[in-house]
Amino acid sequence: NAGVTQTPKFQVLKTGQSMTLQCAQDMNHEYMSWYRQDPGMGLRLIHYSVGAGITDQGEVPNGYNVSRSTTEDFPLRLLSAAPSQTSVYFCASSYSLGEYEQYFGPGTRLTVT
């Protein structure tokens, strides 16, 4: 198993550009989530999904969209990048939240200039 994979590892965007961060897992996990981690802070939940076709907002959803058309993939879209979105983004998945471990991807370091 590859576990949770994320692409790209690094990305630089200009203000106003849009892009999609990719996340995939091959463990047949139902629950997937996106977090952002700013320097010196913990992870903050952006969006999450409890299964294909079902998504919901987390703590900091503004400026981001998600969709979950398959169990494996959970892409995060930045609609119009802003410097405040400079952060490290982690995708995570779990077979069942709270019952089984949540596994994190390696992260994407995004810089918006």
Asked whether 74 and 68 are in contact (CB, 8 A), the reply is: yes
Nearest-10 Cα torsion for 26, 51, 59, 62? 90
Q: Coil, helix or strand for 83? A: helix
By CB under 8 A, tell whether 106 contacts other proteins: yes
Nearer to other proteins, 3 or 83 (CB): 3
Q: What is the CA radius of gyration of the chain?
A: 13
Asked whether 14 and 111 are in contact (CB, 8 A), the reply is: no
Please report, for residues 50, 81, 98, the alpha-carbon distance to residue 31 in angstroms, rounded to integers and kept in the order given.
4, 26, 10
By CB under 8 A, tell whether 60 contacts other proteins: no
Q: How far is the CB of 109 from other proteins (least distance, A)?
A: 9
Window 83 to 102, contacts with other proteins (CB under 8 A): 90, 97-99, 101-102
By CB under 8 A, tell whether 44 contacts other proteins: yes
Q: Which stretch binds other proteins (CB under 8 A): 20-28, 56-64, 65-73, 75-83?
A: 56-64
Among 43, 63, 65, 67, binds other proteins (CB under 8 A): 43
Contact residues for other proteins (CB under 8 A)? 31, 33, 35, 40-45, 48, 50, 56, 58-59, 90, 97-99, 101-102, 104-107
